[in-house]
């Protein structure tokens, strides 16, 4: 995106906060992005640089907004096939396979979902940040299923708000070792960085982590395993895996938070983002997207059903 210079005249009868006014003028940019522009000296009020988000503006003030061009990125689009469930001018809904990392990170400089998405939709460059263009939410590398990618700033802001305000309904299918204490339930346990292994997350004591809430119900019971439907009401890193471990039934195949050696013949953990209900930009009714269980997970269930 090239540099933009926008100009607005404040005509309100009463004084207003600068950042509050700008949100109404440039709805395609998030309040956080606008506040960063203010802090970086990219907003002028009557020709003078504004430095405070809460600066009050008066009737007749002229506000200029300088939106810098997107910085060059080292991301090189890669023509990797994608299973696109839905797509329009604002977003893509992708059925991500297990084993694919969402965005570049240490040890994963290529072959990510972002690399593939940029090849499919080059206009995503810079949307929501150079390192993670289009990313609204994430899935773990070995979790398969539905993930959203925004194709413009307006959609990115809208979709992030849907997740932040908990207006989305996310449904995961998980096979766990053992059985939960009750057929259905609600897990409320804060999640934060592990105090010893800093690359891992953990359920923490109150006040040391972020609020995390998950609900589950039993779908099918096997001899040594249980198939669950899980609804995370918050979106903490590794939340479902940690919460299921917390109630004594870790996700089958999860060698990080569960048993060191998988209890079923599988090369990944059995966790799949199966359904996502969300209100899309410009629409008045929610949409529900679905992704069927991958073949390797269906085969695991079929084997378990033969030994009940």
Q: What is the pLDDT of residue 304?
A: 96
pLDDT bracket for residue 1 (50, 70, 90): low
Question: What is d(CA 23, CA 56) in angstroms, rounded to the nearest whole number?
Answer: 14
Question: What is d(CA 118, CA 294) in angstroms, rounded to the nearest whole number?
Answer: 24
Question: What is d(CA 34, CA 89) in angstroms, rounded to the nearest whole number?
Answer: 23
Question: What is d(CA 203, CA 188) in angstroms, rounded to the nearest whole number?
Answer: 10
Q: Are strands 184-188 and 62-67 parallel, antiparallel or unpaired?
A: unpaired
pLDDT bracket for residue 198 (50, 70, 90): low
Q: What is the pLDDT of residue 145?
A: 98
- The mean per-residue pLDDT over the stretch 202-219 comes to 88
8 Å CB contact between 174 and 300: no
18-73 pLDDT per residue, tens: 988 998 888 777 777 788 788 777 889 998 888 788 899 999 999 999 887 655 45
8 Å CB contact between 289 and 146: yes
Question: What is d(CA 7, CA 187) in angstroms, rounded to the nearest whole number?
Answer: 49
Burial (CB < 10 A; 0-12, 13-18, 19+), residue 302, is exposed
Q: What is the pLDDT of residue 130?
A: 66
- The mean per-residue pLDDT over the stretch 224-252 comes to 96
List CB contacts of 268: < 8 A, sequence separation 6 or more: 98, 99, 142, 144, 253, 296
As a whole number, the mean pLDDT across the chain is 90
Number of Cβ within 10 Å of residue 26's Cβ equals: 20
Q: What is the pLDDT of residue 73?
A: 57
Task: Pick the closest to residue 44 from 67, 26, 24, 27 (CA basis).
Answer: 67
- The three state secondary structure string of 76-99 is CCCCCCCCEEEECCCEEEEEECCC
H/E stretch holding 31: helix 31-39
218: helix, strand or coil: strand
Greatest Cα pair distance, the chain, in angstroms, is 77
Q: What is the pLDDT of residue 2?
A: 59
Question: What is d(CA 195, CA 190) in angstroms, rounded to the nearest whole number?
Answer: 14
Tell which wins on pLDDT, 32 or 174.
174
* Residues in the chain, total: 308
Residue 170 has pLDDT above 90, yes or no: yes
Q: In order of start, what are the domains of the chain with their CATH numbers?
A: 4-67 (3.10.290.10), 72-165 (3.30.2350.10), 166-308 (3.30.2350.10)
66-125 pLDDT per residue, tens: 887 655 457 889 999 999 999 999 999 999 999 999 988 777 788 999 999 999 999 888
224 flagged as catalytic: no
pTM exceeds 0.85 for this model: no
262: helix, strand or coil: coil
Question: What is d(CA 170, CA 269) in angstroms, rounded to the nearest whole number?
Answer: 18
Structure tokens at 64: 């200029």
269-304 pLDDT per residue, tens: 999 999 999 999 999 999 999 999 999 999 999 999
Instruction: Match 């609804």 to its residue by tokens.
Output: 231
Tell which wins on pLDDT, 57 or 126.
57
What percent of the chain shows pLDDT beyond 70? 95
List CB contacts of 90: < 8 A, sequence separation 6 or more: 150, 151, 152, 154, 155, 158, 280, 281, 282
Catalytic residue among 90, 140, 177, 254: 140
């Amino acid at each position: 995106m090239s540099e933009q210079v926008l100009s607005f005249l404040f005509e309100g009868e009463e004084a207003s906060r600068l950042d509050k006014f700008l949100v109404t003028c440039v709805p395609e940019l998030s309040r956080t992005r606008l506040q960063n522009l203010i802090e970086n000296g990219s907003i002028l009020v009557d020709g003078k640089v504004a430095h405070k988000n809460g600066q009050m503006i008066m009737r007749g003030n002229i506000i200029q907004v300088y939106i810098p061009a997107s910085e060059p990125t080292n991301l090189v689009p890669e023509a990797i096939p994608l299973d696109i469930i839905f797509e329009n001018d604002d977003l893509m809904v992708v059925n991500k396979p297990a084993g694919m990392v969402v965005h570049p990170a240490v040890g994963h400089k290529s072959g990510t979902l972002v690399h593939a998405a940029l090849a499919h939709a080059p206009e995503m460059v810079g949307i929501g940040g150079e390192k993670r263009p289009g990313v609204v939410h994430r899935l773990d590398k070995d979790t398969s299923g539905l993930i959203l990618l925004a194709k413009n700033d307006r959609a990115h802001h809208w979709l992030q708000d849907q997740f932040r305000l908990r207006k989305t309904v996310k449904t995961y299918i998980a096979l766990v070792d053992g059985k939960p204490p009750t057929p259905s339930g609600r897990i409320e346990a804060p999640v934060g960085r592990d105090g010893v292994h800093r690359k891992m997350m953990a359920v923490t004591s109150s006040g040391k982590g972020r609020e995390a809430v998950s609900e589950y119900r039993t779908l099918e019971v096997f001899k040594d395993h249980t198939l669950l439907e899980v609804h995370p009401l918050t979106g903490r890193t590794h939340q479902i895996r940690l919460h299921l471990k917390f109630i004594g039934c870790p996700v089958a195949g999860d060698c990080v938070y569960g048993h060191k050696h998988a209890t079923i013949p599988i090369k990944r953990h059995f966790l799949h983002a199966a359904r996502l209900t969300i209100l899309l930009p410009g629409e008045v009714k929610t949409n529900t997207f679905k992704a069927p269980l991958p073949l390797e997970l269906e085969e695991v269930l079929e084997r378990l059903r033969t030994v009940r």
